[in-house]
Amino acid sequence: RNEKDGIRIGFSQAMVDDEWRQSMNNAMQLRASLYPNITLDISNANYDVQRQITQLRKFIADSVDIIIVSPIQSKPITPIVEEAMNSGIPVVLVDRKTDNEKYTVYVGADNIEVGRNAAKIIVSNIRDSLRVIEIKGLKGSSPAKERSLGFHQVIDKFGNIEFCGAIEGDWEKESVTESFREMLLRTGPVDYVFAHNDRMAKGAWEVARNLGIENNIKIIGVDGLNGPNGGIQLVKDGMLAATILYPTGGDEAIKTALGLLNNEDVPKNIILNTTVIDRFNAEIMQNQLNKINEHQTLLESQVSAIKRQEQLYYSQSNILKIILGF
């Protein structure tokens, strides 16, 4: 590695339109800004697998020191990650995985556990019988597969839970509005909906609301973002019965990258904690996360104050050099 150039990290982000991804990027940038010798290049693949492949190829061609990627879908990205590894560049997968073990480290929550947590809420509220619908994330992306797997591991064991079917979404609410409406009209009353993220969960609530049945359906989402549009607020507002916290892992991904480059012992899978957020703990979660946000904002302003000082110092010392003639 050329020490003079510092460390170059190339990150291919699946897309950046939603707040969850934006908060991941912010956390990465904040962590990276603490180290003057790091350059973090964030590329937005914008849901386009071909584009993500091109971005990764470019990182390989540029011989970046480390690649971070959140693969839109597992299968098409698997060979490119292998290519990077074969060319000697370590690869950190964040949030979404590829299809095999040929990566350096995975950072993210256990999505099977996320699905199981959602199912446990349902089975712990079981009466004589329950009817359930699932709204899935994008087909071929690892969290959609694993959340569904974990969910079914639990609910399929209960004979008195009737699974009414699954809807193939793509993580965005527009993808499920029509199909969820149709399914509801076809199946009749259901008790629970497990949507693989809060954006689709909110879409499901809106459909139920339009049909005037929002009070009869309990909707569970995933992500639990803080902020006015986040899942925690949806729980507080009573739109969601619960959301499963899914941390972005942005900060940990950069820390992991640095650990690898410093030859530290880094575990192959860094599993972040997930937990159920419901009306009993939504308030507490929000307060805690607000506090963390305040600290982050403070840190950000300190980092930029230091950068301003540095610039001032360099420009003053340049003037001095000119005046003193060296």
> Does 243 interact with ligand FRU (rule: CB under 6 A)?
no
> Does 151 interact with ligand FRU (rule: CB under 6 A)?
no
Indicate which single residue of 59, 103, 151, 171 sits in contact with ligand FRU (rule: CB under 6 A).
Answer: 171
Interacting residues of 154 by C-beta distance below 8 A, sequence separation 6+ = 115, 116, 119, 120, 123
> Does 251 interact with ligand FRU (rule: CB under 6 A)?
no
> Does 222 interact with ligand FRU (rule: CB under 6 A)?
yes
Query: Rounded to an integer, what distance in angstroms lies between the CA atom of residue 300 and that of residue 10?
Result: 22
Task: Kindly state the DSSP code that residue 273 receives in the 8-state scheme.
Answer: P
Instruction: List, in sequence order, the alpha helices (H) in the chain.
Output: 19-33, 49-61, 74-86, 111-124, 142-155, 177-187, 198-210, 231-236, 250-261, 282-324
Q: How many Å is the maximal CA-CA distance in the chain?
A: 89
Residue 177-216 contact track with ligand FRU, rule CB under 6 A, x = bound: --------------------x-x-----------------
124 φψ region: left (φ > 0), alpha (ψ -120 to 50), beta (else): alpha
Nearest distance from residue 248's CB to ligand FRU, in Å?
8
Q: Closest by alpha carbon to 150, among 179, 95, 109?
A: 109
Given the complex with ligand FRU, which of 65 and 197 has the nearer CB atom?
Answer: 197
Do 162 and 129 meet the contact criterion of CB atoms below 8 Å apart?
Answer: yes
> Does 235 interact with ligand FRU (rule: CB under 6 A)?
no
Indicate which single residue of 191, 223, 251, 252 sits in contact with ligand FRU (rule: CB under 6 A).
Answer: 223
Query: Rounded to an integer, what distance in angstroms lies between the CA atom of residue 248 and that of residue 278?
Result: 19
> Does 113 interact with ligand FRU (rule: CB under 6 A)?
no
> Does 145 interact with ligand FRU (rule: CB under 6 A)?
no
Q: Which residue is nearest to ligand FRU (CB)?
A: 197
Interacting residues of 88 by C-beta distance below 8 A, sequence separation 6+ = none
Residue 71-110 contact track with ligand FRU, rule CB under 6 A, x = bound: ------------------------xx--------------
Q: Closest by alpha carbon to 252, among 111, 105, 97?
A: 105
Total of chain residues touching ligand FRU, rule CB under 6 A: 14
> Does 136 interact with ligand FRU (rule: CB under 6 A)?
no
Interface of this chain with ligand FRU, residues 282 to 321, rule: CB under 6 A: none
Nearest distance from residue 298's CB to ligand FRU, in Å?
27
Token reading at 145: 């597969």
Given the complex with ligand FRU, which of 243 and 286 has the nearer CB atom?
Answer: 243
Q: Which residues bind ligand FRU (CB under 6 A)?
A: 18, 20-21, 95-96, 137, 141, 143, 171, 197, 199, 222-223, 246
